[in-house]
Every structure is written in structure tokens, then in C-alpha cells.
Chains A and B, each alone.
Chain A
């Protein structure tokens, strides 16, 4: 079991490296906040911990973890969405010939 999990971990790391290397610098801030939201996946562990009624201490620790991780997930995705929403192409009806640089 441990070996399987390690295999999963290592392969996923390679995937992470591969997909990030291609993201342009323009999008690094939203990328950081988006991947940060993914790390909120701890919420899954927190749910499991909060479900454990056999130890009240574990349950409350889990509860606090659940709140924090949910903030991380919800806040992270929303903030990323707010940022990305602003990346627009030039509106079609804009004045002037400013297009001399051929952009990207």
C-alpha cells in the first residue's frame, strides 16, 4: 500500500512540474492562488476527522481544520476567479492605431 501511494505521489509530482512549466508569467499570481486552492484538499481529511465521534478532542480539532480548509478552498477559488475575470482581450471598438507591436 505504501509503495502504491509513493508511486502515485511521485508521478503526480512529475505531472505538476510539467503543467506548470508552460504557464506564462502573466498568469503566475492567479496560478499561485489557484494551486493554493487545490492544496485546500486537506478539507477531505478534515471531514474524515470531524466525523470521528470516538474522541471529542479529535472531533473539535477536525472541526477547526474543516473551517480553515474550507476558507482556503472557497476563498482561493473565488479570488482566482475574480483575478482571471479581468484578463480580457482588447475590446473590439477601441480607438487609435496602437497595434504597432504585434503582441503575442
Chain B
């Protein structure tokens, strides 16, 4: 029986691996995701068939409720809200891991209430509390709860309910460090109290309660000082944590399915965070310590003084685009905010029909998540072979007649190349400033997420078209049709 179940778990794990592997190409990704879902179904069915299930209705109810809510969320969410959706789902996964660990603790305390712990534990099929159990249970609670509160802070920052600016207060680092110490003590306490009897669940219950509260606060304190622009890295890292939390729960329950899947997600999240940090030319530590964008004032103030911005009218911009040989479109978060992905496609179609070559240049951290722009443009049916990554297109700007920058800022700021005092110095950027003409669609002259002024906007060859990106694009479409 248990062999069969373990074989089912093995099959599930294999499907997860093949599924994720298939995600390395857009052509096979969808099938891959479905394989992975089949793996999950196998794991769930195997568990249902094997576990000592004495409350089938509760389990059926829980699965049904979760499924309905999951479907509702997934169907209603808009493509522009994907980053915060992932953050929220991730938080739920973390919470589930912590709750499972708490459930395990309360089984021990319930058994102990019956009398002498040792024999009561045995009567309920519980193993004696040993170091392994204590460590894995406390880690599950700690990581799970940090993932939960951290993910929801990231969720708030991504959808604007919490300020995207780094938030901090005097002594915050100290408070965070103290809480971390309390957390370590809370893990150690039941271990020390364990002695060699292993028959008292009291210290563990106290420890996991304290840990839960401390970890929730820690999750908030760890994420809130990080700027909104860095949230993708944070979400990816928290995703990694939720995997580790699942793995820790797997160690508690001695369940290999949880361990394998948790390790997969844990490792992939960390690698993905690292890939993103490399794209910004910053270290993971630099991102996590935060403060990016707060103290940026000195570096950027310089360029703003005494320079003027040239605005461009929609009809001038339309002429520039319609009679260009090659146009490069640089989308940024502004495109997502304005929901302008369909209009830009319409505009590009019109221009292409006039014989203009159009390419999209996608910066690795454009938007609020890597690949965010790709998803949005794909939603608008932009073929993915028109999208070019930074390295593929950077040499082409010199041969480009017009660049259309839509709500992007830091990723096209030449200061990253030229100004060592700038906080974003060293970040690889799209060399938009080398094109013959640049049209920037922007709501106002406000600085980007990093808080740095952008010299690009003051170049003589740059024309600014202020306003909501979608409205501006709609006007451009009208003007081009009228040509």
C-alpha cells in the first residue's frame, strides 16, 4: 500500500520536473504546465486513497471550497495584475504550510491532555518528539508565516495599496535583528527542553505560538523596506521560501512528495531571483537590504536643473513613426498601468502596413516582473518573434529612426551608463538615447521607481508626449489613420 503511494508520489515528482522543463520554450510551455497539474492531481488522489481519513466530508468540503475560490480568482484576475496574483497565491501556500505544522503540534498537545504523554502519543500513532520533529515543525511555522505576511506586503506594494517607496523607521534594523534572535530562541527552546524523554509537547506549543507571531511581523519588516521596483525579486524569493516551507512540512510528515516538490520550487525560486538580480547588475543582498530609491536624490538632482523638456504633438509623433524605416517600441510599467497593450498593437499594425519595420525591445526588468511585458503583449496577440531581449537589440538603436518609449523610465536612463554617482549606475539599460528620434509617452515628469531623474527626457532628439499611455496611443492611431 505505502509502496504504491510512494510510487504515485514519484510519478508526480517526475511530472513536476518534466513540466517545468517544458517551460523553457513558449511552444511547449502550456503542455508542460498541464503535465505538472496532472502530477499534482496524482499526488492528491494518492494521498486521499492512503491517508487515515475519518472525516471525508470535511476533506471534500475543503477541496471543493478551495477549488471554487481558486477558479474564481484565476478567471477574474487581469493580465496586468499577474504579479500581485502570484504574490497572493504564494502567501496562501506559505500559510498552509504553517497551519499544517500547527495542526501537528495540536495533535501532540491534545494527546498529552489525556495523561502521560508517552503512552498517549503512542495510542494516537504519534512518534515521540525528537530533535528532527521539533526542528522541522518550528521551521515550517517560521518559514510559512514569513512567506505569508511577506507575500501579502509584496501584494500590497504591487497593487499600490501600500506605498511602493521603501518604508522604514528609526531602529527598524535593530527591531528586525532582535525579532530574528527571538525566532532563533523559539526554535532552540523546545530542543533544549526536550531532554531525552521526548514526551512533553508543552514547550513546542509555546514555541510555535511565539514563532508564528514573530514570523508574521518579521515577514512584514523584511519586505516593507524594499522598493516597489524590486518586488519581482522579492516575490521570486518568497516563492522559494514557500517551497522550502513545503519541504520542511515534508520532513515533519516524512512525505517525499512534499520534500521533492518543495526542494524544486525552493531551488528554482532562488535561481530565478539571482537571474533577475544579475539583470539589474545588483547583488541579491543589495536588493534585500533595501533602501534603493530612497536616498537617490543627490545623484539625480543634477540633471534636472536648467534643462528644458521638449514636448511633441501627436501629429508630429505620428509622422515620425509612419515615415520611419525602423521603429523600436520600448514598453514599461506605464503600459501595464494604462492597459495599453491592445492599442499599441493596433498602432504597430498600422505602421507595419505602411512598410515600417517594428520591433519591441524588452528590458529584463521592465514592468513589475520579469516577462511581465511579454505576457501583456502576448495577451494583445503580438507575435513573440517581434519581441527582442536587451542584448539582441541594443546594437540596433543607432540604426533606428524612432523609438517609442511607453511608460518606461529607469530601464532607458543613460545615467546607468555614464554617471557613476547615480544609484542605478551599472545597471544594463536599453540604449534608446542612441536612436535618431525618441518619443516618450509619460504621465508627468515624475521620476521612475528608483527615484532618479532621467537625462534621456532632456535630450534635444527626445520629444515628450504627456498623458495616459492609452489615450496618447489612441490619438497616435487616429493621427496615423488620418495621414
A residues near B102, Cβ cutoff 8 Å: 61
User: Which residues 59-77 of A sit at the B interface, judged by CB distance below 8 A?
Assistant: 59, 61-77
> Can you list 16 A-B pairs, Cβ within 8 angstroms, ordered by A?
A10-B263, A13-B263, A15-B263, A16-B266, A34-B19, A36-B239, A37-B89, A38-B261, A39-B239, A44-B47, A45-B97, A55-B111, A59-B55, A63-B58, A70-B63, A90-B386
Q: Closest residue of chain B to A2, judged by CB?
A: B132
What is the interface size of chain A, counting residues whose CB is below 8 A from a CB of the partner?
93
Chain B positions 220 through 257: 1 when the CB is less than 8 Å from some CB of chain A, otherwise 0: 00000000000000011001001101110111111111
The reply to whether A79 and B271 contact each other, CB–CB distance below 8 Å, is no
Taking a contact as CB atoms under 8 Å apart, the answer to whether B375 and A22 are in contact is: no
Chain B interface: which size bin? 35 or more
Task: Report yes or no: A48 in contact with B51, Cβ–Cβ below 8 A.
Answer: yes
* A-contact bits for B42-72, CB 8 A (1 contact / 0 none): 0110011001111100110111011101110
Beta-carbon contacts under 8 Å, B60-94 to A: 61-63, 65-67, 69-71, 73-75, 77, 79, 82-83, 85-86, 89-90, 92-93
Contact at A78–B75, with CB atoms within 8 Å?
Answer: yes
Specify which of A36, A56, A72, A88 lies most central, judged by the most chain B CB atoms within 10 Å of its CB: A36
B73 to chain A, nearest CB (A): 5
CA distance A37 to B260 in the complex (A): 14
Q: How far apart are the CA atoms of A69 and B266 in the complex, in Å?
A: 17
B74 surroundings in chain A (CB, below 8 A): 74-75, 78-79, 82
Q: In the bound complex, how far is the Cα of B21 from the Cα of A19, in angstroms?
A: 5
Cβ 8 A contact of B99, one of A14, A27, A61, A82 = A61
Report the minimal beta-carbon distance from B58 to chain A, rounded to whole angstroms.
Answer: 6
| Residue picked from B19, B74, B253, most chain A C-beta under 10 Å | B74
Do B93 and A69 touch across chains, with their CB atoms under 8 A apart?
yes
- Bound state CA distance, A63 and B266, in angstroms? 25
Contact B267 A36 (CB under 8 A): no
Q: Are B378 and A79 in contact (CB under 8 A)?
A: no
- Which residue in chain A gives the minimum CB-CB distance to B249? A45
Residues 4 to 24 of chain A near chain B (Cβ within 8 Å): 5, 8-10, 12-17, 19-24
CB distance from A1 to the nearest CB of B (A): 7
Note all chain B residues with C-beta closer than 8 A to A13. Answer: 263-264, 266-267
CA distance A67 to B103 in the complex (A): 14
Q: Are A55 and B40 within 8 A (Cβ)? A: no
Q: Could you say which residues of chain A place their CB within 8 Å of the CB of B61? A: 63
Docked complex Cα distance between A48 and B58 (Å)? 12
Interface flags for B19-41 (1: CB within 8 Å of A; 0: not) read 11101111101101110110010
Are B235 and A50 neighbours in the complex by a CB distance under 8 Å? no
Residue A93 interfacial (CB < 8 Å): no
A19: which of B109, B254, B268 is its contact (CB, 8 Å)? B268
Q: Does B420 contact A (CB under 8 A)?
A: no
Is the Cβ of B110 less than 8 Å from the Cβ of A54?
yes
B370 within 8 A of A: yes
The reply to whether A42 and B258 contact each other, CB–CB distance below 8 Å, is yes
B residues within 8 A CB of A39? 90, 93, 239, 242-243, 245-246, 261-262, 265
